[in-house]
A = this chain, B = another copy of it.
Amino acid sequence: MRRTPDYSVYVVTDRALAGGRPLADVVAAALDGGAGIVQVREKILDSRAFFDEVLAVIRVARALGRPVIVNDRVDVALAAGADGVHVGQGDLPCEAVRRMAGPERIVGVSVGSVAEAVAAERAGADYLGISPVFATPTKTDAPPATGLDGLRRIRQAVRLPLVAIGGIHAGNAADVIRAGADGVAVVSAVMAAADPRAAAAGLVRAVAEGRNLSGIMAREERR
């Protein structure tokens, strides 16, 4: 059976934000800094260049034993031998994605409401991206932010691991974890960082802090 990935710090790629740096180098630094999983997202390159990019990221991630997820393109994920695929509400239906990806590959679905979360869980998703939790400049076509309250409501409605995305950085990651997320996904906080290793390490610390506070709060409540 497949091991559950460490969703704590989930890096989503963006070539533009990486500037001139090779994407695989930025990813390698982030994974070295403690990021547990990476999603290759690409909206401009043609399919072959996207495929080559995924292969390059898989090479660095596999050396560290971390899974690689491909955004939107199930065919690119399958052709490259990626560990999973992530789809949004405007991508292929989750049921069709699960059929193509098979039972072993990870399938993630972006949701922005309780109804979408429940539907994705029923349709066979392995984890949910709560998107966007906060407003963000990275995705201009994004739906309204769920906020921490929206994240809490989704946490109560489904059992799947939740990865929050949208406007998250080391300064608010602990809040997001306390609101019920299992991990934080970031684009610019790592891809645009001068030191992606340090940026990932800072997020790992913030997530741990959020979990410790959650644990303390839960113990306080039990008294």
A residues near B (Cβ < 8 Å) are 46-49, 51, 72-76, 78-79, 87, 89-93, 96-97, 99-100
Contact = CB atoms under 8 A, between A and B. Distances in A.
A53 to B, nearest CB: 13
Contact of A47 (B46, B51, B90, B100): B90
B75 A74 contact: yes
Contacts of A93: 48, 51, 79
Among A47, A72, A78, the one with the most B-chain Cβ atoms within 10 Å of its Cβ is A47
A48 B94 CA distance: 11
A185 B87 CA distance: 33
Nearest to A141: B46
28 contacts: A46-B90, A46-B91, A47-B72, A47-B87, A47-B91, A47-B92, A48-B89, A48-B92, A48-B93, A49-B90, A51-B92, A51-B93, A73-B73, A74-B78, A74-B79, A75-B75, A75-B78, A75-B92, A75-B97, A75-B100, A76-B92, A78-B96, A78-B100, A79-B93, A79-B96, A79-B97, A79-B99, A79-B100
Nearest to A87: B47
A69 to B, nearest CB: 15
Contact of A48 (B74, B78, B79, B91): B91
A93 B93 CA distance: 25
